[in-house]
Amino acid sequence: MFNTINEALDYLYSKRNNNKDLSRIKRCINKLDLNPNYKIILITGTNGKGSTATYLKNILKNTLHVGCFTSPFVIRFNERIMINDRQISDAEIMYYMNELEKINEWYLTEYKEEIPFFELTLLMALMYYKDRNIDLGIFECGIGGLNDACNALNPEISIITSIGYDHMDKLGNTLEDILKNKLGIVRDNKTLIYYNNDPKLDLIYNEYISKYNLNAINVNNLVNNIKDNNYLEFDYKNNHYKLSMNGYFQAYNAAIAIEAVNRLFSNYPNIFIEEGLINTKLPGRLEIINDNPRIIIDGAHNDNAIKMLTDYISSNKGNKKLITVFNCLSNKNYKSMLESLDNITDLYLFLDFEDERKTDISLFTNVIKKDYKILNELEEIKEYYDSNSIVLFTGSLHFVSYIKNNINKIL
């Protein structure tokens, strides 16, 4: 029995392994009678999933009891499982983990394998949402779509955000293969909302739309007049919206959320949409946490996300010196990420952080062309910036989480 939150989470984290297929999670859902009786929105994509899910939650919470399941977290585990603006509590996590420990023991006895971390976390969310009788569930896939545990659910609306190179060891080495895996979340005669600006991928989308008779829409050409003033502003279908999130790509994430709301509910009050969008902020997504010096944290962890990040920094850097503090997980393509960052970086600071999956930072120095320093302690960053600096932390949401939880050491 778990008597503390650390005991419960340590048990959960010890169950890391890969999903094989959906048979295990489906057995567990049936065993626990967790098949949802509420509508499901299922989200996949390479970048923008968490932002899109949060826009949706913040729009719909005005009228509904909305469950929102996302990953990974930035500050604490509880962020993964929310109802409206309330995170699951430590006491609730302990309660459900005590139940799930019994289910894991049953599964090990019955099928000779354990239930992995992500599936246990999804089961916790489903138990929590069932007990709280939610009206609608928003679920963000972990990796891919076809064999992701969330795909055991039956979505009313499937969403695919931008597609790029990530998790190629599991999803394939081409964008076409990656997209086909993610399109595994669509259902016959249901709705697909997506963003795509690549004509080659349009062929695959159209194939699936025809095959599954999907009610589909690509928001790409419907977003117009993106402007970055005090707020990010854009037009979508003759309506004007403002966002507090930074980065032009957020306009497309928000457009997907707007479209999903309007597909679910005819004549949904636009004032609720506007209010939900403007009040959405997410930690670790182009988040400015200090102005003098300007300190930006962004969990970009693949080529597409780094490209979006460098575009934003290039447009806002001016004559300031950019100090990039970088680290990433060992399964990421750090070479191409650093090659893009080289275009905007004046000085790199490399720093270890507390994650067994981190990359050996000595590998970074063979890739970059700019000056660098290797730090022993986070506090040493103070020695390198001044009022004419921008300090950027990036490479991984896990790294950004470490920085957020230790921010007092660098300010």
How many domains does the chain contain in total? 2
pLDDT computed for residue 316 by the predictor:
84
Residues 238 and 381 in one domain: no
Query: What is the separation of C-alpha 52 from the centre of its chain, rounded to a whole number of angstroms?
Result: 9
Residue 303 phi/psi, 5-degree rounding, is -60, -45
Place of tokens 């309007």: 262
Residues 269 and 298 in one domain: no
The C-alpha atoms of residue 208 and residue 176 are separated, in whole angstroms, by 12
pLDDT > 70 fraction of the chain, expressed in percent and rounded? 99
Least confident segment among 2-6, 161-165, 323-327, 379-383? 161-165
Confidence of residue 189 (pLDDT cuts 50, 70, 90): very high
Residues 207 and 309 in one domain: no
Which of 117, 140, 138, 121 lies closest to 47 in space, CA to CA?
Answer: 140
Residues 191 and 315 in one domain: no
pLDDT computed for residue 208 by the predictor:
97
Residues 254 and 318 in one domain: no
User: In the listed set 237, 256, 278, which residue is the last one of a domain according to the structure?
Assistant: 278
Do residues 107 and 28 lie in contact, with contact meaning Cβ atoms separated by under 8 Å?
yes
User: Tell me, what CATH number does 123's domain have?
Assistant: 3.40.1190.10
Residues 12 and 150 in one domain: yes
User: In the listed set 278, 298, 317, which residue is the last one of a domain according to the structure?
Assistant: 278
> What mean pLDDT value characterizes the chain?
92
pLDDT computed for residue 19 by the predictor:
66
Query: Taking residues 88-96, what's their average pLDDT?
Result: 98
Coil, strand, or helix at residue 102? helix
User: Is the pLDDT assigned to residue 407 strictly greater than 90?
Assistant: no
Instruction: Look at phi and psi of residue 355 and say left if phi exceeds 0, alpha if psi is from -120 to 50, else beta.
Output: beta
pLDDT computed for residue 219 by the predictor:
97
Coil, strand, or helix at residue 327? coil
User: Tell me, what CATH number does 297's domain have?
Assistant: 3.90.190.20
Residues 210 and 337 in one domain: no
Helix, strand, coil distribution of the chain in percent, nearest 5: 45, 20, 35
pLDDT in tens, 72-82: 888 899 999 99
Q: Give 207 or 400, the one with higher predicted confidence.
A: 207
Place of tokens 């010890």: 14
Residue 41 phi/psi, 5-degree rounding, is -110, 125
Which of 48, 53, 40, 46 lies closest to 79 in space, CA to CA?
Answer: 53
Residues 32 and 49 in one domain: yes
User: Is the pLDDT assigned to residue 330 strictly greater than 90?
Assistant: no
The C-alpha atoms of residue 359 and residue 353 are separated, in whole angstroms, by 10
Residues 6+ apart with CB under 8 A from 294: 288, 320, 389, 390, 391
Residue 313 phi/psi, 5-degree rounding, is -65, -45
Q: Give 75 or 156, the one with higher predicted confidence.
A: 156
Q: Give 187 or 376, the one with higher predicted confidence.
A: 187
Least confident segment among 157-161, 183-187, 283-287? 283-287
| Residue 352 burial (CB count, 10 A) | 17
pLDDT in tens, 262-276: 999 988 999 999 999
Residues 6+ apart with CB under 8 A from 391: 293, 294, 295, 296, 323, 325, 381, 385, 410
pLDDT computed for residue 169 by the predictor:
64
Tokens coding 245: 């999130």
Domain hosting residue 122, numbered range: 5-278
User: In the listed set 278, 312, 344, which residue is the last one of a domain according to the structure?
Assistant: 278
Do residues 63 and 187 lie in contact, with contact meaning Cβ atoms separated by under 8 Å?
no
Residues 206 and 58 in one domain: yes
User: Is the pLDDT assigned to residue 308 strictly greater than 90?
Assistant: no
Q: Give 131 or 71, the one with higher predicted confidence.
A: 131
Residues 245 and 296 in one domain: no
Place of tokens 């609306």: 157
Tokens coding 136: 């609608």
Residues 6+ apart with CB under 8 A from 267: none
The C-alpha atoms of residue 292 and residue 269 are separated, in whole angstroms, by 40
Which residue type sits at 299? G
Neighbour order of strands in the sheet with 223-228:
223-228, 232-236, 239-243
pLDDT computed for residue 167 by the predictor:
64
Task: Report the predicted TM-score, pTM, of the whole model to 2 decimal places.
Answer: 0.91
Residues 220 and 361 in one domain: no
Confidence of residue 361 (pLDDT cuts 50, 70, 90): confident
Confidence of residue 304 (pLDDT cuts 50, 70, 90): confident
Residues 240 and 322 in one domain: no
Q: DSSP letter at 40? A: E
pLDDT in tens, 44-71: 998 899 999 999 999 999 999 999 999 8
Least confident segment among 44-53, 227-236, 341-350, 356-365? 356-365
Q: Taking the CA of residue 370 as centre, how many other CA atoms within 13 Å lie in the half-sphere pointing to its CB? A: 18
Do residues 104 and 113 lie in contact, with contact meaning Cβ atoms separated by under 8 Å?
no
pLDDT computed for residue 58 by the predictor:
98
Residues 6+ apart with CB under 8 A from 406: 378
Q: Are strands 81-83 and 86-87 parallel, antiparallel or unpaired?
A: antiparallel
pLDDT computed for residue 317 by the predictor:
85
pLDDT in tens, 8-42: 999 999 997 766 789 999 999 999 999 999 999 99
